[in-house]
Amino acid sequence: MDLISVKSRTKASLKYLGEGTEFAIIYLKNIILTLLSLGLYYPWAKVEILKYHYQSTELDQARFSFHATGKEVFKGFIKIYVIFIFLYGFLFYALRTQNQVLTVAAVSIFYLLLILIVPFAIHGAVRYRSSRSSWKGIHFKYLGDRTEFFWLYMKGALLTICTLGIYGAWFHVDMRKYIFSHLRFGNLSFNFKGNGGDLFVINLKFVILFYLTLGIYSFWYYRNLVRFYVDNTSLVQNGKEVKFKTNMQAGDVFELLFINGLLLVFTLGIAMPWVTVRTLNFFFRFLEIDGELNTNAIQQASYDNYDDAIGDDMLDFFDIDLL
């Protein structure tokens, strides 16, 4: 019996191997350089941090890689600043004229464009991050259609507004399903089978029980939320579904958040790098690949050399987390 056939029947494992002190050196160096450069170094700092986390993540004893460059991210920021200089310039001009009609039009155009930009930013960010992520030379790829995703987003946003936020859970799930169904890892495909109704119930229980338990229910809410996302995510290899699962408990979440809180309070925030590493270690410690994933059979299908980071930068600007 050869080694490859034995490994193909062994559960693949995902691990995070980052070290707090190691990451703290990178984190603090980037803060200093960003401050000294009046923010200009931020794109390079962002890339260096992402590269560290990728390279600290391991699938079957092989590390992931992030191939973005600070120059690519910097170009994206320049494009964003040009766009918003024009937007704010027009808004400022309208306010200076004290023309009520022009002011209302300028404000309406400003917020309308902000709403319209978000789906393009999400689409571009997913495509950029995917094209710049790899494992053993095998790249991720996003095959979503920009126009298709735009109309999916606009429909969900409109229904969420019309239902006073109630449709938000279904909206979020629909976007996640679309992105994952168009995401590839070499010759593997992703899938997300979550239901908006289940996410709505999780959020509703949190709203009700948070106050009744004076916030204690937060630990169960976080556990339920992570389980919802992880347990409904899967990979498809040769037509066979390989699921992910997590077995974290509310007590584990309490320990994580309690110690993280103490570290941040008693160090006045200096412990943030250690908190970040502790949190990632915590998540991967409970993450399992539930099924037989043959990592030796993963092959590069096609490669998307997409180097436009404006979507990723735009999500930074709006403070929106990617997935």
pLDDT in tens, 16-72: 999 999 999 999 999 999 999 999 999 999 999 999 999 999 999 899 999 999 999
- Bigger pLDDT: 149 vs 109: 149
pLDDT for position 104: 85
pLDDT for position 5: 44
CA atoms within 13 Å, Cβ hemisphere of 1:
5
Q: Do residues 203 and 159 make contact, with C-beta atoms less than 8 angstroms apart?
A: no
End-to-end CA gap in the chain: 41
Which residues are registered as beta bridge partners of 58? 15, 63
In this structure, of 31-40, 69-78, 172-181, 294-303, the range with the lowest mean pLDDT score is 294-303
Instruction: Report the amino acid identity of residue 191.
Output: N
- Bigger pLDDT: 7 vs 70: 70
Instruction: Report the amino acid identity of residue 114.
Output: L
pLDDT for position 4: 45
Determine the average pLDDT of the residues in 147-161: 95
Q: Tally Cβ neighbours within 10 Å of residue 203.
A: 18
Indicate whether 234 pLDDT > 90: yes
pLDDT for position 10: 58
DSSP per-residue string spanning 276-309: HHHHHHHHHHHEEEES---GGG------------
Determine the average pLDDT of the residues in 132-149: 94
139: tokens are 């790249």
pLDDT for position 6: 43
Determine the average pLDDT of the residues in 266-272: 95
In this structure, of 59-68, 119-128, 175-184, 300-309, the range with the lowest mean pLDDT score is 300-309
